[in-house]
Structure formats: structure tokens, C-alpha cells
A and B are shown apart, each in its own frame.
Chain A
Amino acid sequence: MIDGMGQGSERQGRILVVDDSELMLEQAAAALRSAGYDVVTTSKTVGASRHLAGSDLAIIDFHMPGFDGADLVQSMREAMRQANKHCLLYLYTSDEAVAGNFRKLGFDGCLLNKGDMRDLVAQVGAVFRLLHMRGIAGRVRKALEK
């Protein structure tokens, strides 16, 4: 058995969802919780960084009133740097033009089709698989070389 493999299903993560729409947050939280994730939501950008500790992934709405998603990302990165913690920051949008620019805006990745909860769960699943596989890819190669 290669170390770290085969634990994908039981190891769910903690997700922070930041969005100004309560409805959206409720739906996202319900969908992600029923998929087995631990979910924290907030509709306010002020103090959102607080919730980053312990989260594996933050899903952030880009268009929030009075606050720029990019600013939020910057402040979150700063907070993570100070706390020496890491959390993936993903943009959540249906606007493909914005989506393509996610790196420029400071995000680690982007989730598409905002509002489609089933797709959200699928995409989040892929993010966690990706995270998991990046970790084990090196070990697989090493095991093969042996």
C-alpha cells in the first residue's frame, strides 16, 4: 500500500464560504454539508479571515457590495501569512470572463456555474481529490522507482 492512498473518502475537509447572499450561503452550506464537509459561512467580508484558521478551502464570491473580492483575497493571504496557516482560496462565479482571470485576482483556482449546487459539490470534490493526489503523486513515483 502506498502511504496516504485510500483515505480519500473518509477525509473530508472544512470549507469557508463567503458570499453576500444569505440564500446562496444557506444553499451552499446545505449542499456541502450533506456531501460530508464541515462548512462555515459568512456574508460579511469584515472579519472573514478569522474563519480561515482550520479551513482547507475558501470559496469566495467576487462581486460583493462595497468590497472587492481581490481585496478580500489580499487580506486573507496576509492573515494566513501571519497565522502561518494555509488554505486554498477559490473564486466562485458564473462569469467566465472573470473566471479566466482568477490567478491575476490572486485566487488559487476557480469554481464555475455559480448557483448549481450539484455542480458545486462535484467541483469541490475535485478540488479535494486534486489536493490529495498532488500529495500522493510523489509517493507513487517513489514507490514505483523502488
Chain B
Amino acid sequence: MKLQASLGSKLTAATLLVLAVVSSFVFYGLTARARDELLASKSKAATLVVDLFVASAVAPLDFGDDKDVQDALENLRIDRDIVSAAVWREGASAPTAAIGSSAELPDAAAALARAPVRADGEALDLARRIERPDGSALGVAVVRFSLAPERAQLRTQRERILGGTAATAALIAALILGFARFQIVAPLERLVAAARRVQGGEAGVRVETSSGDEVGRLADAFNTMSEAIREREQRLASAMSRLRELFDNMRQAIVVFGRDGLVEEAPSAQATVIFGASVAGRSIRELLYADVPEWSPARQAFEQWLDCAFDVPASEWAAVAELAPAEARCRGAGEERWLELQFTPVVTEGRVERIMMLGTDVTEQRRLEQAAQTLEQQHARQMGLMRRLLAGGGQVFVSFLDGAQARLSSAVARCAEGTPSGDALVQMLEIVHTIRGEARTFELEELAAECQGLERSLRDAREDDSDAGEGRLGDLAARLGRALSLVSAARDRFVEASPIGAAVLDQMTVRRSDVRAMGQLLFSSNGAPSSALVEELRRRLLALEARPFGECVTALEAAASRWADAIGKKVALAVTGRAARVPARVAPVLTAVLPHLVRNAIAHGIEPPSRRRGAGKPDAGTVSITATEDPEQLTVVVRDDGAGVDAEAVTARARELGIDGDATDDLLFAAGLSTARQLGELAGHGVGLSAVRSALREAGCDVRLSSSAAAERSAAMEGHVGAAFVISVPWTVDRARRHD
């Protein structure tokens, strides 16, 4: 059992106990000594009295004078201390004389035999032999002295001794206790109080000490400990503050949330910066997906994840962490931010109790990435455009502008005549669709978008038979007008960008060798020019003005595979004779009609990959365009390795549609014929081939279906034979067959 009393009380009790024992010993010792002293002096005085009496009683007793003996006894009465006395003659059994109550006195023999002081301490009995001077015995005298005065005196002395001892003991106790209090208890109490202050959180508590004893050493030890605690706490505090600083300075928001999805803690300053004030208590869903509709996949995935994240055992966490969102875009405190997210479980007894989310702000990084990406894309686009322009020369762009303007103007003119017919609508659709594709290749996105809108309006107009009338016509005319103004805006920009201004529109590329040859012809001739010279000069001049064939097919290669892809086919375009010269007047016509022929080949000639595989052909079909020059004309052959023209189908379809004609060739180029039953992206409009032939004939050229050309083996086609269209372009209009 632990004693609850204080050290002071224990010390006091122990001191008092020891002092009490010591004091009582001292007291009894002193009392005994006082009594012995009193008895000794009494005995001395009494012996003197008795000796005198014995001396005075010798003679009377020797003479037998009992009266004198009695008188001598009576004289003893003077001494008040003598209670009784008796004298025995030698050998007598009764006293010869006596005073006081002699009966209480012991007889002579007994008196002589025992100690003078009676056991009860009440009286002192002295016995003396009475002898003659010769030493013979006369008798015995016994005197009893009262010890009452001594007893009274002893009582007084005892009281004095008691008082003195008690006072001394009290003084010593006071001294000892005072010393103990001063030296032990008080310093210990100070230590206890100081320890309590340390316990209460006070730092750097010290206890003053001057002594070198155990208590002093204890105080020193306490001071050292207190200092150590203070230093450790300081280190801890500075570590904490560094940690807090780290939390505050890092660009990471730390958020801890529980099973209910509510944030319990957000110990970093960044959490407030990103999610706004008072993060604690808010839902983690709201923090991350506040602006996102509930059905958005990102939010749904997170909800689902939250559902199972707390249910899996902690050992399975790695698998769960993989399914957590890696990033989120949130708009917490106004600004939109990209956060990279990491989730860490807070595990208690193998269960996920809470989840800590570490959100790193990567907004700036994303912005930089995006800017770099945009720059890269822009660069790639510009490079692509440059490459295309370089490949075709500025003239390609000029011819596109010219062609687009002419075709759009013709469409505007058709609108001005009144609501266009179905056929007219189809032709306008073709025009607009082609311009849209070409505009894209020149990065004229605005024009492409306008054309897209136009296409939609035209399709609507074609599909909707009910005569919506003026409103639709007005809309079409307005859109066409806008497209026209976009074309001229592009022309203006092109002129503006050109170092030679508007002259760029009139610029052309010539070969040095041609110019040199012409100069030689002119300067070497003497006299009037012969007709042969004029003819040669004319031929040369035409050649100078001619465009390289490659310009006419610049945009085709990329477009062909796109067209094919759109209808689930695969095609490669092979162009040969890019350097062949095309008369200037024919170049734009050729540029305009070649896409139609290629599209026709893709739509009707090339079979779908499955059917090609069945026929033992490669999946990808080939369309080849070959240009060859000879003195008479330029010949362009558009050939495919498809199934060829189904002559029977063409004839049957022509009959069905009431189109007259015998030769397959003529029927193919007849207006309104298409073997495609359904209107597709590429074919089925029945305008393509007839438009191609009329455009070419207008320019003094012609086109026909050629079985012999188709039969020519081509390396690119690995011997597979399809259809071939042959375009013949005479060098001079005069030599061309006129069909109009």
C-alpha cells in the first residue's frame, strides 16, 4: 500500500517518535539520579543523627538507666523526620525504650539484617549496634526516618526535569524539522511544481539550486532534463514548421476523405488555393467534379471507384489505385486547373479507413504543352501548304481561284434564272463539293466551311420536293455570294503575300531551254519569216505557255485515298508524265475533270477489298494517270485495275432511263446515266461523265472509253485489267476535232 502522507509529515512523525523515546530515557535517568542523591544525603544526615544518639545512649544503657534511654529517645523527637525509634537491650526481645509507633518497627535482628531503605520508599530505617568502648554489645537502636519531605522534593524535581526535557526535545524537533524543511522538503516541492509546469507544456523551466547535495544534484538533473525537453520540442517545432512550410510551398493539395466521401482534413495550403476556402466537410466528388454533369464518364467512373475503394482489403489496393482517375480538371477557386491525382489509403487493421488524395497542379505544364502542340500543328500545316504550293507552283492556286470563281459564278447565274431543277441542283452540289475539297487542300477553312453549309442546303433542297420557293433560293444565292467573296478574299491575300503583287496572277513558269531555242530561231533567220518558221515559232510559243501536267494532279493523290476510304475501298494513285506539257487553255479544264474520272474509277471500277480478294487481286486497287506527249497531241489515260465496264448493265440502264444510243461509249457519257442505284458520296448523280465530256469538248479536247488502252499491261497493276478513259489534247485548236 502506498502511503499518501507527505514527506514533511513522515519526517515530522519520525523525528517526534525518536525524540519522545530519547526524552523519556533522559527523563527517567535524571529522575533516578535525583532520587538517589536525595536518598544519599538523607542517609548521611540520618546516620549522623543515629550515631549521636547511639553515643548518648551507651552510658544510660550500660548503667541500666532505661529512663535516660527513653529521654534520649524523646530528644530525637526534635527531628521531625524521625517517625519512630526503639532501643533493644542485648538479647531482649522487646524494646527497652521506644518512641512513635514502635510496633511498626522491625525487631533488632531483622533491622540489622536488611537494607536501611524500606521497599515502599516511604521510610528509611537505620539500625545501629550500641557497644561499650571495649566493643562489647549493649543493644541495638533502630530509628525510622520519614522520607515524605524527600518524596515531595523529588516530585518537584521530577516536574522540573520533565519540563526541561520536553522543552529541549521540542527545540531539537523544531530545529531538525526546520532544517529538513529548508534543505529537503522545500527544494523537493519546488521540483514538483517545476515538473508540473513542464507537464503543463511550459518550455525551459529551471529550478534554482545552490547546494551540492543529493537534492541539489536532483535539481541539476531536472534542469538538464528540462533543457533537453525544451531543445527537443524546439527541434520538433522547427521540423513541424518546416513540414508545414513544405506543405504550404509545394504545389500539391493534400486532402483526406472518409468512406462517406467527405473531406476530413486538408492539411496543405495548396488545397485552399485549388479548391477554395473551407475544404473540410465538403464532398470529394464536388471538389473534383463540381462543374461536370453527373452522367459524364469521368464522374461516373470516380463514383464507381469510390464505391469499391473502401471495400477492398488493403492488400488489394494496388489494383484499385490503377482504376482511380489519374487527373482531373476542376474549377475550385474560380480558375480552371488541371490536377494530377494520386490516391493513398490510410489503413487501420488491414482495412481502408480513409483515403489521402495528393493533387498536383499541372495547369501551367498543360498550357505549355498545349501551346507547343498548337505551334507544332501550325508548323506542320504551314509546311504541308508550302510543300503543296511548291509541288504545283503558285499557278495551281491561281487556277483553283479562277476555277472556283468561274464555277461559283455559273451557279449564281443558275440561281438567278429561278428555282434550279433537280439536275441543276446535282451539278451545283458537285461544284460546291469539289471546291470544298480543294479549299481544304489550300487551308481555306472558311471557304470549306461555307461550302459545307452550301452542300447541306443543296441536299436539303434536293431531298425536299415541296417547293419551299423564294426563301430557299435566297438562302442559296446568299451562301453562293459569300463563297464567292471568300474566293476573292483568298485571291487578295495571295496577291498581298506575293513579292510581285498582282502580277503573280499572271505569272507562269517557262523552261530556259524553250526561251533559248526561240531566240535562236528568231535571231538566226534573215529576211521575211518563212511559213515554216512561223509555224515553228507558234509551236514553241504554245509550248512556252504550257503548264506541266503535274500541276493538274497535285491535290489528287491525297484526295483519292480519302474518297476510297469513305466508301470502304482502298486505292493507290500512280501518276506518270508529270513533266508533260499541257496547253495553257486546257490546264484548268484538265485539273477540273481529272478528279471526276478518278472518282468514277473508284466508285464504279475498283471493287471492294473482299471481292478483289476473291478475284485474286490485291486489296488495294490502283488508278493510274499517264500523260504522254507526241508531236500531234497530249494523251492522258486514266486507267484502273477494277472490274471494267459492264456493257450490258450500261445498255440496260440506258434503256430503262430512255436514253438512246448504241455504243457503250456513247451511253456512258450520256447525261443522267448512272449504274449506281443509290446516291452515294461519290457516284450516282449521273452527271459526272457527261459533264467531263462536255467540258473537254468545249476546250477542244475529247475523252473516250478505250478497251485497247485498258488492255495495255501496266507494271503497277500487275496485269489486272479494268477500264481506261483516254483524253486527247491537241496542241492547237485548229487541229482539234470540233464537236460543237
Q: A residues bordering B, Cβ < 8 Å? A: 1-2, 5-6, 8-9, 20, 22, 27, 42-44, 46-47, 50, 65-66, 90, 96, 99-100, 102, 109-112, 117-119, 122-123, 125-127, 129-130, 132-134, 136-137, 140-141, 144
Which residue of B297, B298, B316, B328 is within 8 Å of A5 (Cβ)? B316
How far, in Å, is B588 (CB) from chain A's closest CB? 25
Tell me if B482 is interfacial: C-beta within 8 Å of chain A.
Answer: no
With A65-B459, A118-B366, A140-B308 in contact, is A112–B319 under 8 Å at CB? Answer: no
Tell me if B614 is interfacial: C-beta within 8 Å of chain A.
Answer: no
Closest to A50 in B: B568
Which residue of B297, B318, B320, B455 is within 8 Å of A66 (Cβ)? B455
Tell me if B311 is interfacial: C-beta within 8 Å of chain A.
Answer: yes
Can you add 6 more A-B contacts, CB < 8 Å, to A126-B300, A137-B304?
A: A46-B680, A111-B297, A112-B292, A126-B298, A127-B297, A140-B311
In the complex, chain B residues whose CB is within 8 Å of the CB of A20:
452
Closest to B440 in A: A22
Q: Are B308 and A112 in contact (CB under 8 A)?
A: no
How far, in Å, is A67 (CB) from chain B's closest CB? 10
A96 to B366, CA, bound (A): 24
How far, in Å, is B65 (CB) from chain A's closest CB? 139
Q: Are B298 and A110 in contact (CB under 8 A)?
A: no
Which residue of B301, B565, B568 is within 8 Å of A133 (Cβ)? B301
How many cross-chain pairs have Cβ atoms below 8 Å apart between A and B? 107
Q: Are B304 and A9 in contact (CB under 8 A)?
A: no
Which residue of A22, A119, A136, A141 is within 8 Å of B562 (Cβ)? A22
How far, in Å, is B226 (CB) from chain A's closest CB? 53
What are 6 A-B pairs with beta-carbon distances under 8 A?
Answer: A2-B312, A5-B319, A42-B566, A43-B566, A50-B568, A110-B295
Q: Are A137 and B308 in contact (CB under 8 A)?
A: yes
Tell me if B464 is interfacial: C-beta within 8 Å of chain A.
Answer: no
Q: Are A140 and B312 in contact (CB under 8 A)?
A: yes
Q: Which 8 A-B pairs have the closest CB atoms?
A: A5-B319, A6-B319, A44-B566, A126-B298, A130-B301, A126-B301, A126-B297, A127-B297
Which residue of B292, B377, B440, B567 is within 8 Å of A47 (Cβ)? B567
With A110-B295, A126-B298 in contact, is A137–B323 under 8 Å at CB? Answer: no
Tell me if B305 is interfacial: C-beta within 8 Å of chain A.
Answer: yes
Tell me if B514 is interfacial: C-beta within 8 Å of chain A.
Answer: no
Q: Are B567 and A126 in contact (CB under 8 A)?
A: no
Q: Are B305 and A129 in contact (CB under 8 A)?
A: yes
Tell me if B307 is interfacial: C-beta within 8 Å of chain A.
Answer: yes
Contact with A along B353-385 (1 / 0, CB 8 A): 000000000000010011001000100000000
A109 to B294, CA, bound (A): 11
Q: Are B297 and A132 in contact (CB under 8 A)?
A: no
In the complex, chain A residues whose CB is within 8 Å of the CB of B370:
118
Within 8 A of A (CB), among B307-348: 307-308, 311-312, 316, 318-320, 322-323, 325-329, 338
The bracket for how many chain B residues form the interface is: 35 or more
With A2-B319, A22-B440, A140-B312 in contact, is A134–B329 under 8 Å at CB? Answer: no
Q: Are A6 and B318 in contact (CB under 8 A)?
A: yes
Within 8 A of A (CB), among B552-582: 562, 565-568
Tell me if B681 is interfacial: C-beta within 8 Å of chain A.
Answer: yes
A65 to B373, CA, bound (A): 29
Q: Are A133 and B305 in contact (CB under 8 A)?
A: yes
Tell me if B456 is interfacial: C-beta within 8 Å of chain A.
Answer: yes
How far, in Å, is A80 (CB) from chain B's closest CB? 18
Q: Are B295 and A102 in contact (CB under 8 A)?
A: yes
| Of B301, B369, B566, most A-chain CB atoms within 10 Å | B301
A47 to B610, CA, bound (A): 15
Contact with A along B681-717 (1 / 0, CB 8 A): 1000000000000000000000000000000000000
In the complex, chain B residues whose CB is within 8 Å of the CB of A99:
293
In the complex, chain A residues whose CB is within 8 Å of the CB of B326:
122, 125
A22 to B566, CA, bound (A): 11
A23 to B219, CA, bound (A): 84
With A5-B319, A47-B568 in contact, is A127–B301 under 8 Å at CB? Answer: yes
How far, in Å, is B303 (CB) from chain A's closest CB? 9
In the complex, chain A residues whose CB is within 8 Å of the CB of B325:
122, 125-126, 129
Q: Are A129 and B301 in contact (CB under 8 A)?
A: yes
Tell me if B524 is interfacial: C-beta within 8 Å of chain A.
Answer: no
In the complex, chain A residues whose CB is within 8 Å of the CB of B278:
none
Which residue of B297, B307, B323 is within 8 Å of A8 (Cβ)? B323
In the complex, chain A residues whose CB is within 8 Å of the CB of B308:
133, 136-137, 140
